């Protein structure tokens, strides 16, 4: 009897400790849809969906925050896609990290998910692509990433604890593995998923190419 009571007591204490521990850092919980897939791609560990989640087309972008071509696409083609397809609910966008160019690429990718914890993934993502400089020249080192977080008004205690602990290192690695699994060997690469079909577009291609691909899918 006493033995049973002891085991029960231990279980109750363990549950209580778990609840207290998780409630003490509510903003650091990971809100992941574990079954999220788009076409053949598992987007579970990717970015939050930008745009209408029920849009008929999903653009899955594989990118690196230090990639010059990703920067080029971000500034040259993406604005028109956002204006004409994402803002109108025809398409949505998911970003998956293929962080391979340098050591700061991995840090930058992890930092975006720390920003996601505070609801500012896309703001942080945009800030990185607006601030890009040369590969590993310090523009995306730990100090600068924290400075970006600060300038976005994030809670720095939460951000620092998330970033310094490497909380999202496995998430980023999972995304890199997803890219390799789909034979993505360069950034940016886009897999455009429509009803029962998906097409790959490699490189910082112009807006018109995306329009043609979208039109062939709708």
Structure tokens at 81: 């896609």
Work out whether 206 is an interface residue with other proteins (CB under 8 A).
Answer: yes
Residue 167 tokens, joined = 């909380």
| Footprint on residues 169-188 left by other proteins (CB under 8 A) | 185-188
Cβ contact 115:152 at 8 Å: yes
- Strands 197-202 and 189-194, sheet pairing: antiparallel
> At its nearest, how many Å lie between other proteins and the CB of residue 212?
6
Q: Which of 64, 97, 116, 117 binds other proteins (CB under 8 A)?
A: 64
Q: Which residue has the tokens 């040369």?
A: 134
Least distance between other proteins and beta carbon 134 (Å): 4
Q: Which stretch binds other proteins (CB under 8 A): 17-25, 30-38, 46-54, 66-74?
A: 66-74
Q: Does 99 bind other proteins (CB under 8 A)?
A: no
Query: Is residue 202 involved in binding other proteins (CB under 8 A)?
Result: yes
In Å, what is the CA distance from 74 to each residue of 56, 60, 95, 204?
22, 14, 12, 8
64-79: string of b/e by CB count within 10 Å (b at 16+)?
bbbbebbbbbbeebbe
- Contact call for residues 189 and 98 (beta carbons, < 8 A): yes
Query: Does 57 participate in binding other proteins (rule CB under 8 A)?
Result: no
- Could you give the string, one character per residue 73-92, with x where binding to other proteins holds by CB under 8 A and - elsewhere? --xx----------------
129 is a contact residue toward other proteins (CB under 8 A): no
In the chain, the largest separation of any two C-alpha atoms, in whole Å, equals: 75
For other proteins, the binding residues (CB under 8 A) are: 64, 66-70, 72, 75-76, 100-103, 134-137, 185-188, 199-206, 208-209, 212-213
């Amino acid at each position: 009897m006493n033995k049973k009571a002891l085991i029960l007591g231990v279980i109750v204490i363990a549950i209580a400790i778990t609840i207290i521990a998780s409630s003490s850092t509510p903003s650091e919980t990971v809100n992941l849809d574990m079954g999220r897939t788009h076409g053949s791609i598992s987007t579970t560990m990717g970015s939050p969906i930008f745009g209408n989640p029920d849009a008929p087309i999903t653009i899955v972008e594989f990118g690196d925050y230090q990639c010059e071509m990703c920067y080029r696409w971000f500034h040259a083609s993406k604005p028109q896609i956002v204006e004409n397809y994402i803002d109108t609910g025809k398409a949505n966008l998911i970003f998956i990290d293929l962080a391979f160019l340098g050591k700061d690429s991995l840090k930058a990718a992890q930092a975006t998910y720390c920003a996601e914890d505070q609801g500012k993934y896309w703001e942080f993502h945009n800030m990185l692509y607006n601030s890009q400089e040369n590969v590993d020249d310090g523009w995306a080192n730990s100090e600068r990433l924290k400075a970006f977080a600060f300038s976005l008004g994030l809670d720095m205690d939460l951000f620092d604890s998330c970033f310094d602990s490497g909380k999202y290192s496995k998430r980023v690695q999972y995304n890199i593995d997803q890219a390799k699994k789909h034979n993505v060997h360069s950034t940016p690469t886009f897999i455009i998923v429509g009803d029962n079909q998906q097409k790959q577009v490699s490189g910082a291609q112009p807006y018109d190419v995306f329009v043609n691909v979208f039109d062939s899918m709708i």
